[in-house]
Amino acid sequence: MFGIANQLLAVIALCLITTWLINTGRAKYAWVTLLPMLFVSTTTLTASYQMIPQFLQMVGNGVWSPLKGALNIGLMVFVITCVLALLAQAARWIAVLRGVVPIR
């Protein structure tokens, strides 16, 4: 879980830098941060979705207590939700690139 949180922190940093590049009129350089962000987002979110059933299985098998399983699953879902909310807010990039929203 620590590894997933660490990689999602990298996604947040790459998203912020991409937003800065687009909002300052340097969109031609945005691919430098956008491609790694998409790769890390895809692989990390896929891994995290695959870990949740494993956590449930560990609780079911009695390896973890229900409290430990609930905390791990709850924290992972919270981190995933925060990153997905940030990426949804970053959809403003499309409007900026199309000229609908002015560059700040």
Alpha-carbon distance values, 49 to 2, 59, 68, 101 (Å): 14, 16, 18, 34
Q: Where are the domains of the chain?
A: 2-98
Alpha helix (H) residue ranges in the chain: 2-23, 31-60, 66-89, 92-98
Report the distance separating Cα 43 and Cα 25, nearest Å.
Answer: 29
CA dihedral sign of residues 67, 73, 75, 77: negative
The model's pTM is: 0.83
* 3-class secondary structure, 93: helix
Instruction: Give residue-wise pLDDT tens across range 16-26.
Output: 999 999 988 89
| pLDDT per residue as tens, the chain (104 positions) | 888 989 999 999 999 999 999 988 899 999 999 999 999 999 999 999 999 999 999 999 999 999 999 999 999 999 999 999 999 998 888 888 887 877 66
CB 71 within 8 A of CB 55: no
